[in-house]
Structure 1
């Protein structure tokens, strides 16, 4: 072990009396990609845990499958680009891009094997509940005839076979599509022709076709097509028919600074992504080696490395369809977000915010519709509102905010929207939103060249009785009605004068890109302020730490990837500062290493909702500081994105954040603890076997808060948590 003083450490605090470990050594940093895959192991465990309702277990298999698809498109795609460019620079954890790919593939194959085993087990459990995904050949004769008739009427006209021979070049295979590779011949097997058939799964055609309206009996669409090939090839013989699936690279970003028109550049990127190189080929285990080798060669893949053999069902992300079967007895109890205790009786949201100063929101426990959407709705109609400004990263058709913004413009208000065109996988949707908003007179801008606008801010200027007043929403999550019911996020509604003034500066920067001297004393925006502020606050905690007043740092976030923040936390731990990290997925820091990180614990929460909120807490010698915002501790967030992190100073709201942190830190049901080698161990209830998970407990606390705000109103009785449901 190389014991040298880290050059970036502060030499004035007492911990300098002991030698500091070399914080540049790669062994102290876990790999970003491998720790993200470790997170998916925890998610997959929910599909294994008998305490999880059966259809929710199906859902978690679908989630992991979808996550792995995205992992190949984004992370493996990026690593392959580095390899292709001849880059061999080591990551901070000491791995080349090729080494990372090899190690990731090993973990992915382990995950896939576990996932297929769980799927087979769950199929048996579903069968006992009257839900079946059956092989076509095992259907009764009547059911086969019914399915054939359905296929002829509803599917067959959409199916287009494509020959692969000297007269017909290898066809384009679209990303994540299911495909059949068939061998067809008339008389002699030697005269066989290879044919590709795309399985037309889409919005109106589900992956699993219900055989009978009276039963939950399904057959896979690919299986249905494969067993009716005589309709496509009458009089021909079928030598074989096997499924395959490809995944394409989604990393096709161009240089913004070289683009004359950003909108045109993004549209060009989307076209290129469609034809981007393939990074993964999945084949059925029964496919012959000649066929798999041909596919790999045509797609430009390494057959030994990039071909994944699927011994079971392919494309399990489609299981969301099965998870949605209306069987409440096999699903989590329905969750209905409640109204906010401070807003439920308010006739005017601006008066309520002015009375409170700042209101803390917690989704999905509190309704997104009756808080954030209401804020924009009332702003669009209030005759005293003069202007609305907003950042938009992701949204959905089910979110009414965009319509309210258009209403505001039509009502004569000044409306400005900073829309991020490069929100991965939402580019096309954001282009459509931009066009719609511009058509009604909204001033649409695309942020600052070279920086993604990832902040979540709505800013309203209103003519109050005593002059112009700024109102704002600052959040941790996207303005997306769908994810607002599935992700845990925090936000504030505020009319704080200092925050309002600094948001004015922020939007001036976003709409002009001009880097003038901006003096932020309250907000912590990235990329100019946030990282240096966090590092300074960590160093301050080190300096203020003493036996009488021990230091304490607590971060809750999605990822800890930034090397400088990780090194600073290591230094704080060496100085004796207690550090609690609640990190959903990627985490570079290794806890519980003697002389290095003995005072650090790293926890991860997995439950029915996706943990997505960010909280930054510093004890600061007793003068406590709480912040919430859009940024994770990732290099990209801190250095190449526009993020906004805001202080929460009101004692009542700090107490709510403290409650959230304490529930997560103390829970024994849904919390995982990282070990020093980067693996995780799930906590197990000891004294109280019926202890609810973190999110169930927060549902209870939110409903209790609403009940206390309405003492005379009868509340719905909460269904008791059953760990053996």
Structure 2
């Protein structure tokens, strides 16, 4: 169901918008409110984010350009070639900012008593001698090289691999040798010399010891480089195939996708890098020049992650302080509580262990006849998987919907599949052309036409590791409408040819979540036109679905206020809805990754929903997702309080302007949603009039800002 508003050319490109999100992550390294070591962490997170972007999104754009013969993307009105050029330009700026912050922070390390990140050329003679000993003993035995005089090919270098390209003169001829940086060795060498700790990068040490490795010719030029590859190959899971064939196909897929074309070539931009050799390297290995970035510092800042682990042990005061998440009280049964009350938790303030308590009690309850759960991403050595295996071994019927196509978690999900099958669980793999991205667990105490039991419906994965750093919502209930709907949902997943069922209270993708959101926006619009009251609050990771955006534009054109919190890519453009437009867009980036999805519609009633789905076309049309209304009055108040706190955030929020750029509030009042929740830990209901006051304050501030 789409609005009649013409969105063509009135939206930002998704990928250009995402690069602005990554810049916001980088900017946290320059925030005075960010602890010193966590500033390094955000630089590393941004580097990690970009790896996936160049392995998935950039290849997709390149394919679109080739398939359409460089036609215009309707959403943004830009040719795909222009989008790719702008991506390159924007990412170059991101790198420049990122590495300026890295340089500045690195200079402060000795002041904080954490040693020094240095280069081989900066070492004195004694330090250099010690570094060379490390090279001879710990690095040289792992080095291999490949010599090219013709038939240039880098297929053996997998995604995210770093190497040195060395131009050699051998017996009067020129050749190029590729020396991969060994995976067996940590990226940094820690040297302790005369009470001074220094950190030296392995690739730098190799670069300055090549004469030890090569004694059959003269080294003329050297490039230190790292590649990202196209990993955007698709995997179809056919429900008509047996599980053995599906697993076999996945293994082939994982092996093949590492050979995709090179989408990013990062070269360390050192003073002695020869531009002539760089161009020769691109030509001989058939790498597009648009993939090239000359990086003003160490390649791949994810090398900081292991360093940060050791540094934060030495200086715990330089990271965000630990906190004690809310646990379920031992003296109280969760299942007994759920027989009379719903429960809404927000991770990480509420501990993910409470979901484990829910599962443990269900397994121990003699009334439990079945447990059904969707799995998209789980932790290594997952406690959730252990509990599901325990349930099956106890005789409970356990059905697990595992999404094998969860990108970059395929191998772990393959491992989990084997474990669960061995324990006697029934495994299903979802729909052939749609990923199952829903986050739900159903415990049945009575099966059949009138099922009874308990449900959990969430916005995040069943991963006890990431739940400590991701903000997500988790709803628990024994309401019969929820139970009945989830029983129908799992029946639909278990039957390959089944049509999507009709639900009593839930909404599900494909299509029906989009319809629900658009219909509710239109209801608010009609109410606003009658009364002058009403507004919409949406909190998602990404907003890219053009039909939802068109519905927002349509309602905003008559004055309906919208408060949108979009962490990542936001294709909605401000200033296109006329003089009555009243839309506030912010992106909250802070200590935790904002991952919860909330849809709130305020008209004559108040409809509050949580969902696994972002407002993206893929989630609306091409995935199996769930959205659940919060029906319990007390949990309604809890969610309204959460919304009110997010409304007031002026510390972690970056606000969008009419040009599509983001800015920080110049004089914040100190309202950080994440820190407020940490201080509360247990969420307390807040009266509705407080929510309206928060909304009015934010709108007043926005009107002043626009003026």
Task: Compute the TM-score of the two structures, normalised by the length of structure 2.
Answer: 0.90
Residue 290 of structure 1: aligned partner: 276
Q: 1:586 aligns with which of 569, 581, 591?
A: 569
Deviations 1:180-220 (A, max 9, x none): 1123446x6x4343211111135xx3211211297542110
Q: Which moved more, 1:152-161 or 1:104-113?
A: 152-161
Residue 679 of structure 2: aligned partner: 700
Closer/same/farther in 2, CA of residues 70 and 127 from structure 1, 3 Å limit: same
Q: 2:315 aligns with which of 307, 311, 328?
A: 328
Q: Secondary structure at the match of 2:619?
A: helix
Q: Does 1:422 align with 2:405?
A: yes
Which blocks of at least 5 consecutive residues in structure 1 are unaligned?
1-5, 10-21, 707-725
Summarize the alignment of residues 304-343 of structure 1 with structure 2, pairs less than 5 Å apart: 305-324=290-309, 325-326=311-312, 327-328=314-315, 331-340=318-327, 343=328
Q: CA RMSD in A?
A: 2.5
Q: 2:585 aligns with which of 602, 605, 613?
A: 602
Residue 462 of structure 2: aligned partner: 479
Tell me, in whole angstroms, the C-alpha distance in 1 between the residues paired with 2:236 and 2:118. Answer: 49
Closer/same/farther in 2, CA of residues 235 and 374 from structure 1, 3 Å limit: same
Residue 204 of structure 2: aligned partner: 223
Summarize the alignment of residues 311-390 of structure 1 with structure 2, pairs less than 5 Å apart: 311-324=296-309, 325-326=311-312, 327-328=314-315, 331-340=318-327, 343-356=328-341, 358-369=342-353, 371-390=354-373
Tell me, in whole angstroms, the C-alpha distance in 2 between the residues paired with 1:596 and 1:514. Answer: 49
Residue 281 of structure 1: aligned partner: 265
Closer/same/farther in 2, CA of residues 409 and 211 from structure 1, 3 Å limit: same
Q: Does 1:206 align with 2:186?
A: yes
Q: Does 1:401 align with 2:384?
A: yes
Q: 2:251 aligns with which of 267, 273, 291?
A: 267
Q: Does 1:664 align with 2:646?
A: yes
Residue 564 of structure 1: aligned partner: 547
Residue 711 of structure 1: aligned partner: none
Residue 617 of structure 2: aligned partner: 635
Tell me, in whole angstroms, the C-alpha distance in 2 between the residues paired with 1:529 and 1:594. Answer: 26
Tell me, in whole angstroms, the C-alpha distance in 2 between the residues paired with 1:560 and 1:38. Answer: 14
Residue 703 of structure 2: aligned partner: none
Deviations 1:377-412 (A, max 9, x none): 333343332111110001111431001111111111
Residue 424 of structure 2: aligned partner: 441
Say if 1:458 and 1:474, in contact at 8 Å, map to a contact too: yes
Say if 2:155 and 2:259, in contact at 8 Å, map to a contact too: no
Q: Secondary structure at the match of 1:153?
A: helix
Residue 55 of structure 1: aligned partner: 37
Residue 528 of structure 2: aligned partner: 545
Say if 1:603 and 1:672, in contact at 8 Å, map to a contact too: yes
Tell me, in whole angstroms, the C-alpha distance in 1 between the residues paired with 2:491 and 2:83. Answer: 41
Say if 2:323 and 2:678, in contact at 8 Å, map to a contact too: no
Summarize the alignment of residues 120-269 of structure 1 with structure 2, pairs less than 5 Å apart: 120-130=103-113, 131-166=115-150, 172-185=156-169, 190-202=172-184, 205-212=185-192, 216-234=197-215, 236-256=217-237, 260=241, 261-269=245-253
Tell me how far 1:148 sits from its aligned partner: 3.0
Deviations 1:612-638 (A, max 9, x none): 0011111131x1111101001000001
Q: Does 1:513 align with 2:501?
A: no
Tell me how far 1:29 sits from its aligned partner: 0.8
Tell me, in whole angstroms, the C-alpha distance in 1 between the residues paired with 2:559 and 2:150. Answer: 71
Deviations 1:115-148 (A, max 9, x none): 1111111111223223311112323444333333
Tell me, in whole angstroms, the C-alpha distance in 1 between the residues paired with 2:155 and 2:259. Answer: 12
Tell me, in whole angstroms, the C-alpha distance in 2 between the residues paired with 1:171 and 1:451. Answer: 31
Tell me, in whole angstroms, the C-alpha distance in 2 between the residues paired with 1:481 and 1:296. Answer: 43
Tell me how far 1:694 sits from its aligned partner: 1.9
The total of aligned residue pairs comes to: 673
Tell me, in whole angstroms, the C-alpha distance in 2 between the residues paired with 1:445 and 1:258. Answer: 8
Q: Secondary structure at the match of 2:65?
A: helix
Q: Does 1:527 align with 2:534?
A: no
Tell me, in whole angstroms, the C-alpha distance in 1 between the residues paired with 2:579 and 2:22. Answer: 27
Tell me how far 1:346 sits from its aligned partner: 4.2
Tell me how far 1:168 sits from its aligned partner: 8.3
Tell me, in whole angstroms, the C-alpha distance in 1 between the residues paired with 2:599 and 2:136. Answer: 59
Closer/same/farther in 2, CA of residues 468 and 544 from structure 1, 3 Å limit: closer
Tell me how far 1:104 sits from its aligned partner: 0.8
Closer/same/farther in 2, CA of residues 472 and 258 from structure 1, 3 Å limit: closer
Closer/same/farther in 2, CA of residues 411 and 223 from structure 1, 3 Å limit: same
Closer/same/farther in 2, CA of residues 167 and 617 from structure 1, 3 Å limit: closer
Tell me, in whole angstroms, the C-alpha distance in 2 between the residues paired with 1:561 and 1:39. Answer: 14
